[in-house]
């Protein structure tokens, strides 16, 4: 049997941009504008569609779906479940972002129901993945209060249990399908100082999944692309405000060759 060479992160970026996949996002009020601009700068086509009356229809035609519980309320929860079920029924990948899942029984109940709908990937910070995998999170809100290393065993277990690729983000990202695991060391300390950059990354992961065959390598390529854009944007930025603007420019400007040269992806 011939062994095929792994697809490079740069090739995955080029494929994503060539496809400009339509990404359906049911996300929070904070992230909506940031995330749409991030997806456009990266090369995808965002649509924020959350009415329960149309979410399932839209998920059927989009290339991928993201579901983010950041500002969830009952009508939105209905739309999320209908959209996720529709994505699965139509063979479209979907990504769950369990924002502050530990904060209330309402949030954790919503995520339990969404997990039953078999997301292709789950992306969260260390506290969110720790809680989603059954551990005790050291955070109360949307910002991480735990180290990525503390969530790695839970991420592996969650991946095996759910069938999803699980990405834990932080200073060094960890991503696993339950069998293989990778660490992605790209990124910059200004990234968590701009709200919704994690939420927006969930959309970029979905965009890479929309064009990739293997979700683990596609997710790792998305994480490296995002982190490397953060590194570029930080050069010359004096704080979070200028960084946020430069980050969009860096996502737009980063080339596939630059991603192949700058991606720091290693087996974990
Ligand atoms: N200290 C850090 N150093 C380098 N990169 C970081 C750091 N913290 C986060 N990142 C990067 O920031 C991006 C967003 O991840 P983060 O874990 O902050 O998401 P989040 O907590 O879900 O964010 P939000 O909920 O505000 O959208 C990822 O690309 C991650 O690698
Ligand atoms: C700050 C905040 N609050 C609810 S969602 C959100 C965006 C970051 O997750
Ligand atoms: Mg988040």
Name the pTM for this structure: 0.98
- Is the interface score ipTM higher than 0.95? yes
Question: In order of start, what are the domains of the chain with their CATH numbers?
Answer: 9-252 (3.40.1190.20)
Using CA atoms, how far apart are residues 90 and 244, in angstroms rounded to an integer?
35
| 196 marked ligand binding residue | yes
φ, ψ (nearest 5 deg) of residue 94: -140, 150
Q: Which two tokens stand for residue 200?
A: 């927006």
Mutate to test the pocket of ligand 2, among 25, 26, 28 (most ligand atoms within 8 A of CB): 28
Query: Does the CB atom of residue 71 touch ligand 2 within 6 A?
Result: yes
What residues pack around ion ligand 3 (CB closer than 5 A)? 99, 198
Q: Which two tokens stand for residue 19?
A: 């496809």
Q: Is 181 helix (H, G, I), strand (E, B) or coil?
A: strand
Query: Does the CB atom of residue 142 touch ligand 2 within 6 A?
Result: yes
| 123 marked ligand binding residue | yes
Adjacent-strand bridge partners of 24: 47, 65
**Residue minimizing CA distance to atom 6 of ligand 1:** 171
Mean pLDDT per 10-residue section of the chain, whose length is 268 residues: 77 98 98 98 98 98 98 98 98 98 98 98 98 96 96 98 98 98 98 98 98 93 98 97 98 98 98
Q: Which atom of ligand 2 is nearest to the CA of 70?
A: 5
Using CA atoms, how far apart are residues 162 and 142, in angstroms rounded to an integer?
23
Pocket of ligand 1 (CB under 6 A): 99, 124-125, 142-144, 169-171, 173, 187-189, 191-192, 195-199, 201, 226-227
**Residue minimizing CA distance to atom 22 of ligand 1:** 198
**Residue minimizing CA distance to atom 7 of ligand 1:** 171
Which of 189, 195, 226, 190 is closest to 208 using CA atoms?
A: 226
Using CA atoms, how far apart are residues 128 and 144, in angstroms rounded to an integer?
8
Residue 103 burial class via C-beta count within 10 angstroms: exposed 0-12, middle 13-18, buried 19 and up:
middle
């Amino acid at each position: 049997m011939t062994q095929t060479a792994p697809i490079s992160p740069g090739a995955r970026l080029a494929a994503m941009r060539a496809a400009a996949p339509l990404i359906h996002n049911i996300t929070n009020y904070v992230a909506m504008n940031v995330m749409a601009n991030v997806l456009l700068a990266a090369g995808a086509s965002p649509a924020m569609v959350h009415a329960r009356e149309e979410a399932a229809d839209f998920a059927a035609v989009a290339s991928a779906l993201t579901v983010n519980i950041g500002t969830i309320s009952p009508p939105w929860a209905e739309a999320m479940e209908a959209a996720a079920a529709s994505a699965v029924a139509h063979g479209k990948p979907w990504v769950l972002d369990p924002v502050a899942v530990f904060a209330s029984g309402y949030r954790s109940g919503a995520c339990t129901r969404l997990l039953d709908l078999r997301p292709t990937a789950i992306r969260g910070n260390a506290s969110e993945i720790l809680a989603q995998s059954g551990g005790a999170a050291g955070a109360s809100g949307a910002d991480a209060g735990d180290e990525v290393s503390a969530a790695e065993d839970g991420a592996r277990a969650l991946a095996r249990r759910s069938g999803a690729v699980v990405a834990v983000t932080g200073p060094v990202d960890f991503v696993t399908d339950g069998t293989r695991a990778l660490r992605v060391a790209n990124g910059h300390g200004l990234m968590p100082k701009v709200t919704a950059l994690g939420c927006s990354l969930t959309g970029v992961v979905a965009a890479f999944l929309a064009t990739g065959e293997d979700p683990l390598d596609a997710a790792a390529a998305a994480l490296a692309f995002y982190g490397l854009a953060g590194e570029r944007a930080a050069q010359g930025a004096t704080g979070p405000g200028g960084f946020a603007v430069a980050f969009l420019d860096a996502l737009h400007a980063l080339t596939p060759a630059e991603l192949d040269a700058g991606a720091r992806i290693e087996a974990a």
